Amino acid sequence: MSGVSLKCGDCGALLKSVEEAQEHAELTSHSNFAESTEAVLNLVCTSCGKPCRSKTESDLHAKRTGHTEFVDKTLEALKPINLEAPKSVNSTEDTAMDVDASSSGQCEEMVVPEVDKKILEELEEMGFPTARATRALHFSGNCSVEAAINWVAEHENDPNIDEMPLVPASTKVEHSEPKLSEEEKKIKLQELRERARKKKEEEEKKMEREREKERIRIGKELLEAKRIEEENERKRLIALRKAEKEEEKRALEKIRLKLEEDKAERRRKLGLPPEDPAAAKPSAPVVEEKKSMLPVKPVTKAEQMRECLRSLKKNHKDDEARVKRAFQTLLTYVGNVARSPDEEKFRKIRLTNQTFQDRVGGLKGGIEFLELCGFEKTEQGEFLFMPRDKADISVLNSAGNELQSAINNPHFGVL
């Protein structure tokens, strides 16, 4: 198959004609070209008709515009490449001119093309390298920031994208007139910046939504883990209480058997016959009934305190508010001493104090309760005083518990 393209040995670019190869050589200073049987692609976008000469170029176009449908017209445009440069009518003169031009072109100096410095500075402020920005301005017509950005988007995968463009020094650089006025440039630049800002805000909002979803997911997992932990703790407590009840039941049964064995042993030592279980059962209720008829007297300090508080409430049952206030005042006295037993001011109460009389001293049973806690009347009868050695923390704690029960239990002292 004859050659259908020219391939640059330096960068691998495929070119349709000798003219394109010459233009490529001027722009890149590449000089190694060879005839190739590989055709230059001609992918035409069905949406806008733009031709793309490579798969990379079509991918960039699709990424920038969203167009995804392309028609491959490579075979339609396929034709053998003509390696002969075009000749003019006067072949002798043209040949001489070509020789002169080629000889002069070989020695001609290549320089960086001139571009609009203001637009170049704006592109550099946006973060584009100087070489890429210069190249984009040169090949986009040196007219606007937007055109340069669009060129970079289409050629960002070019191998020489970050190489400084070069043109012959004798070439007269003609800046194309700006299509937009200075004011329009500012407006356009502001639009681009506003578009970039909005895009950034959308990305931040999207990230915030993702973070919120993650927070919700983690919160649900934590709640579920807490629920499972509470359920396991509840089951553990139930099992523990069940085990305690079983243990208590076994202990009671063991005590009962021990008592029966002791009783049987005593009967054997006394020479009595074994006790008949059927005859022994009826006697139990009689004994219990006799015991229940005996008066029960408080035997502990806590029971004495509880009975004192019951009497106080019964003696003043018509004034519940005053009784509750008395209980709270007594709790304050007891709590102060329990917290600071070394402080004498908490262990000394003036009996003639009007507040004390209104709250505690004027109620029957109030002073008696303080005396059960360890307070004693002085010789002159002016104070209630608790000596340091009488400040028993366990007794004060019991008093506090009884007062809390009397305050919180609405049925206390009713029965």
Encode pLDDT of 167-222 as tens digits: 777 654 444 444 556 777 678 778 878 888 888 899 999 999 999 999 999 999 99
Encode pLDDT of 244-255 as tens digits: 899 889 989 999
Taking residues 132-149, what's their average pLDDT?
85
pLDDT at 253: 93
DSSP state of 345: G
pLDDT at 292: 46
Residue 3 has pLDDT above 80, yes or no: no
pLDDT at 87: 45
Name which of 253-257, 356-360, 406-410 the model is least confident about: 406-410
pLDDT at 104: 45
State how far the Cα of 44 lies from the Cα of 38, in Å rounded to an integer.
18
Residue 2 has pLDDT above 70, yes or no: no
Q: What does pLDDT average to over the chain?
A: 79
pLDDT at 277: 64
pLDDT at 193: 80
User: 112 or 87: whose pLDDT is higher?
Assistant: 112
pLDDT at 208: 93
Coil vs helix vs strand at 409: coil
Burial (0-12, 13-18, 19+ Cβ within 10 Å), 390: middle
Name which of 24-38, 151-165, 196-210, 270-284 the model is least confident about: 270-284
* Neighbour order of strands in the sheet with 33-36: 14-15, 5-8, 33-36
Residue 338 has pLDDT above 70, yes or no: yes
Q: Length of the chain, please? A: 415
CA angle 280, 284, 290 (to 5 degrees): 140
State how far the Cα of 197 lies from the Cα of 191, in Å rounded to an integer.
10
What letters, b where the CB count within 10 A reaches 16 and e where it falls short, cover 324-357? eebbebbbebbbebbeebeeeebbebebeeeebe
Residue 47 has pLDDT above 90, yes or no: no
CA pseudo-torsion sign 137, 140, 144, 147: negative
Domains of the chain: 5-72 (no CATH), 91-168 (1.10.8.10), 301-408 (1.20.58.2190)
